C-alpha cells in the first residue's frame, strides 16, 4: 500500500473539530465552482465518470462507510429520494471512503479487495438501494471534495457544485432537490425569470444514540474505546444500547 493510502486510512477514529466560522474552509470543493472531476468503480460493476452526467443529470454524492453512524442514519431517506427523483434527472450515489470508526470487525483498509468487501456489507446490511462508488484506497474523491465521514454534495448538470454540507442531513437535501428541479423548470420556460441566489448556513443536528450504538457495535469494541478516549465524560453513558435506557 502506498504511503498516501496508509496515511489516509487511519486505524483509529480521528476527530477534527474546527470552529464554526471555519467549517466552510474544511471543504475544498466550493459551491459555484466546477466540481472536482473523478472516475470511480461502481460496486455492482462498471465505471462512473462525473463528466458523463454533464447536461443530463443532477448528481448527489453521499460520503459514507459501514462504520459511519451518520451514513446509516441517512440511507433510508436517500433510498426514498432515489425512488422519487431517479426518473426526474437526479442520480444519487454513495461514495465509499475510509472507515470513520474502525473496529475489530471492520478495521481500516489495507487493500481495495477489503474496501470492496466492506462496501458490499454496507449495501446489504443497510439496504442501500442507490449505486455505490468505491473511492480509491488513498481517498482521491474524498479528499478532493472534503475529508468528512458523511458529507453531502450536489453537482449541477452543468458541472458546477451547487450544494455542500459537512454532515449529511436528508431533510435539507429533500428541500434542495425540490428547489433545484423547480429552477430547471423556470429555466425551461421562456415566460419565467429566475433569480439565482447563494446561501450558507450552520446547523446543529441531534445525534441518534441507538444508531450510533448499533454501528459502533457492528464495527467492534475498539470503535467504542476510540470514541470514549476522545470523549471520556461519555464513557458508559453514551451511546448506550436501547435496553439500557
pLDDT value for 52:
94
Cell numbers 433510498 correspond to: 79
pLDDT value for 21:
81
Q: What is the pLDDT of residues 45-67, one digit of tens each?
A: 999 999 999 999 999 999 999 99
Maximum distance among all Cα pairs of the chain, rounded to whole angstroms: 61
Q: What is the pLDDT of residues 145-192, one digit of tens each?
A: 999 999 999 999 999 999 999 999 999 999 999 999 999 889 888 899
Q: How many CA atoms lie within 13 A of 12 on its CB side?
A: 9
Q: Which of 145, 188, 129 is nearest to 33 (CA)?
A: 145
pLDDT surpassing 80 at residue 225: yes
Task: Give percent of the chain above pLDDT 90.
Answer: 81
CATH 2.60.40.10 describes domain 3-244? no
pLDDT surpassing 70 at residue 244: no
Cβ-contact 40, 47 below 8 angstroms: yes
Find the mean pLDDT for residues 185-212: 90
Residue 60: enclosing H or E segment and its boundaries? strand 58-64
pLDDT interval class at 245 (50, 70, 90): low
pLDDT interval class at 243 (50, 70, 90): confident
Task: Check: pTM over 0.75? Answer yes or no.
Answer: yes
C-alpha grid cell, residue 179: 428547489
Question: In the structure, how many helices (H) and strands (E) does the chain have?
Answer: 7, 7
Q: What is the pLDDT of residues 154-163, one digit of tens each?
A: 999 999 999 9
Mean pLDDT of the chain: 94
pLDDT surpassing 80 at residue 1: no
Please tell me the total number of residues recorded for the chain in this structure. 245
Lowest mean pLDDT among 17-26, 33-42, 81-90, 230-239: 17-26
Tell me the C-alpha distance between 244 and 99, whole Å.
Answer: 27
Amino acid at each position: 500500500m502506498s504511503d498516501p493510502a496508509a496515511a489516509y486510512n487511519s486505524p483509529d477514529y480521528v476527530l477534527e473539530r474546527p470552529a464554526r466560522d471555519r467549517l466552510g474552509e474544511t471543504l475544498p470543493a466550493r459551491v459555484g465552482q466546477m466540481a472536482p472531476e473523478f472516475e470511480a468503480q461502481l460496486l455492482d460493476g462498471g465505471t462512473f465518470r462525473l463528466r458523463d452526467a454533464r447536461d443530463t443529470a443532477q448528481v448527489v454524492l453521499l460520503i459514507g462507510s459501514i462504520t459511519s453512524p451518520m451514513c446509516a442514519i441517512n440511507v433510508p431517506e436517500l433510498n426514498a429520494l432515489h425512488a422519487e427523483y431517479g426518473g426526474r434527472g437526479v442520480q444519487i450515489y454513495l461514495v465509499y471512503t475510509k472507515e470513520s470508526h474502525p473496529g475489530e470487525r471492520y478495521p481500516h483498509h489495507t487493500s481495495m479487495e477489503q474496501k470492496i468487501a466492506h462496501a458490499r456489507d454496507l449495501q446489504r446490511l443497510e439496504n442501500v438501494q442507490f449505486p455505490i462508488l468505491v473511492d480509491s484506497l488513498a481517498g482521491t474523491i474524498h479528499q478532493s471534495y472534503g475529508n468528512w465521514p458523511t458529507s453531502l454534495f450536489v453537482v449541477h448538470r452543468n458541472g458546477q457544485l451547487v450544494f455542500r454540507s459537512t454532515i449529511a442531513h436528508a431533510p435539507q437535501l429533500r428541500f434542495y432537490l425540490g428547489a433545484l428541479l423547480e429552477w430547471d423548470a423556470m429555466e425551461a420556460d421562456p415566460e419565467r425569470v429566475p433569480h439565482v441566489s447563494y446561501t450558507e448556513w450552520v446547523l446543529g443536528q441531534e445525534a441518534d444514540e441507538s444508531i450510533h450504538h448499533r454501528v459502533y457495535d457492528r464495527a467492534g469494541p475498539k470503535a467504542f474505546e476510540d470514541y470514549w478516549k476522545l470523549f471520556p465524560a461519555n464513557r458508559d453513558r453514551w451511546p448506550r444500547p436501547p435496553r439500557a435506557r
